[in-house]
Amino acid sequence: MVFSSLLFMFRFLPLVLILYYVLPAKFRNIILFLFSLFFYAWGEPVYVFLMLCSITVDFFAGKNINRLLQKNKRNIAKKVLLLSVVYNLGVLGFFKYADFLIGTVNGILGTSIPLTNLPLPIGISFFTFQTMSYTIDVYRQATQAQTSWLNYGTYVSMFPQLIAGPIVQYKTIAEQLRERKENTDDFVSGINRFLIGLGKKVLLANNIGVLWDSVSSMQAGSMPAATAWIGAAAYTFQIYFDFSGYSDMAIGLGRMFGFHFLENFNYPYTSRSITEFWRRWHISLSTWFREYVYIPLGGNRKGMWKQIRNLCVVWLLTGIWHGASWNFVLWGAYYGALLILEKFVLGRLLEKLPGFVRALYTLFFVALGWILFAFDDLGSGLGYLLAMFGAGGGFADNTTIYLLYNYAVLLVILLLGCTRLPKKLALWCGQKLGEDSWLFLVLRLVFYAALSLLCVAYLVDASYNPFLYFRF
């Protein structure tokens, strides 16, 4: 369903762009809003009304909060904010966590409460956090309340980042919603960024995902340690190129329509600590939890024990945000524990180690974390982790050699692709040839044309097209 929605977007995107640029500027938000709703309805026909309700509730909540603050009625404004937050969390909790809670109660008490079995609205975690950030920022007077329901609806429903982020805070694009200046440079750079993201997704993430699916379907109890580590590396690469690829596509599409979304990834696998990793991975989510949970709880301003409490709360919520199963709770607790250890125990020790050792330390624990993340069944995930440390028996076998023979080149490409090397190489070529030279321009054109053709060919031919973060 998600993939068909994306094909739908690609099919109609040229028409939308033509209408967007041909019609007068005053119609541009209308075009974006209507197409965004149409795009979402293509994949989730019923849940488009849920989104419209969220838009309406938070739009009027923001207006009333602003009006009450102007009248110095802060206590009443706070109650309106609370109602808005309760509504948003209630909707998110019902659709995403109701069956998880019912299943947990049934398992503990032996009851047989029927599950709702409702499908999860695509992207509900992302657009719910966006609407919450808006009302909270209006209450904090960090941004002005939006006076146009259409403009606010465009912000919430904007199709480039609607179903898998990044989480765009209203205050970062408030002025752009009202007035933005589209230009050729932004449009071309948007196309290039979109194609890079598409290439990451369909050429890299999808291909290494085949390896992960093959390894993860094996019996962990008899899996050699080397095979388990190859699978862990595959999933580590798949989730990065899948999610960062979609973020690149969203940022590129936004730029084509005149919007400048903030970056969501900054070479996270080059980090030299877990703390640094979470400054570079899914930046919009980390920023959201820091601004709306960690700092309001007191951050690091009220002593060590309260800081530890705040970190525990944030990472418990981060785990739960990602999914309604116990592996995500454990994954959040895992990172919370690592960050607390780095903050109060390991920090000074890490600073004394060589950079490559710190990088290996970070990748080691990140890879372990992704295995917890990958398996909804907690027992399967823990079994796989044990296999990585030899519980399956043996170090390697013929299957290990076969996998390395078939995927070694791709794994090297992925490893290099996680670094700044490709960007540095492109800059070096630009400096050597001259960025305005005809040869460099031709090379860029050939590169992006070839990338586009390869992606289209793969999409037409391939049947394996998972988008890992769409389930959140």
Which tens digit of pLDDT belongs to each residue from 205-258? 999 999 999 999 999 889 999 999 999 999 999 999 999 999 999 999 999 999
Both tokens of 210, joined, read: 């085949």
Largest CA distance in the chain: 75
Listed in sequence order, the residues at least 6 apart from 381 whose beta carbon sits closer than 8 Å to its beta carbon are 327, 371, 372, 374, 375
Q: Which of 194, 278, 322, 384 is catalytic?
A: 322
* Residue 236 DSSP SS3: helix
Chain centroid to CA 439: 37
The per-residue pLDDT for range 190-218, each reduced to its tens digit, is 999 999 999 999 999 999 999 999 999 99
Q: Look at residue 7 in the predicted model and tell me its pLDDT.
A: 67
**CB distance 350 to 272 below 8 Å:** yes
Residue 398 CB burial class (10 angstroms; 0-12, 13-18, ≥19)? exposed
Contact 266, 259 (CB under 8 A): no
CB atoms within 10 A of CB 108: 8
For residue 146, the model assigns a pLDDT of 93
The CB density around residue 387, as the number of other CB atoms within 10 Å, is 26
**Does the annotation count 322 as an active-site position?**
yes
The pLDDT assigned to 14 comes to 87
- pLDDT tens, residue order, the chain (472 aa): 445 556 667 778 888 899 999 998 889 999 999 999 888 887 778 889 999 999 999 999 999 999 999 999 999 999 999 999 999 999 999 999 998 898 888 888 888 888 888 888 888 899 999 999 999 999 999 999 999 999 999 999 998 888 777 999 999 999 999 888 888 889 999 999 999 999 999 999 999 999 999 999 999 889 999 999 999 999 999 999 999 999 999 999 999 999 999 999 999 999 999 999 999 999 999 999 999 999 999 988 888 899 999 999 999 999 999 988 899 999 999 999 999 999 998 888 888 899 899 999 999 999 999 999 999 888 999 999 999 998 878 898 999 999 999 999 999 999 999 999 999 998 888 888 887 888 888 898 999 999 999 988 887 776 666 656 555 5
- Residue in the structure block whose two tokens are 């900054």: 266
pLDDT of residue 255: 93
Residue 10 in tokens: 């690609």
The predicted structure's pLDDT at residue 119: 86
What CA–CA distance (Å, rounded) separates 120 from 139? 30
CA angle in degrees (0–180, nearest 5) for 81-87-90 = 135
Residue whose structure tokens are 């937050």: 85
| 8 Å CB contact between 145 and 62 | yes
What's the confidence (pLDDT) of residue 6? 63
My answer on whether omega of the bond before 296 falls inside 30° of 0, hence cis, is: no
Give the contacts of 409 (CB within 8 A, at least 6 positions apart).
none
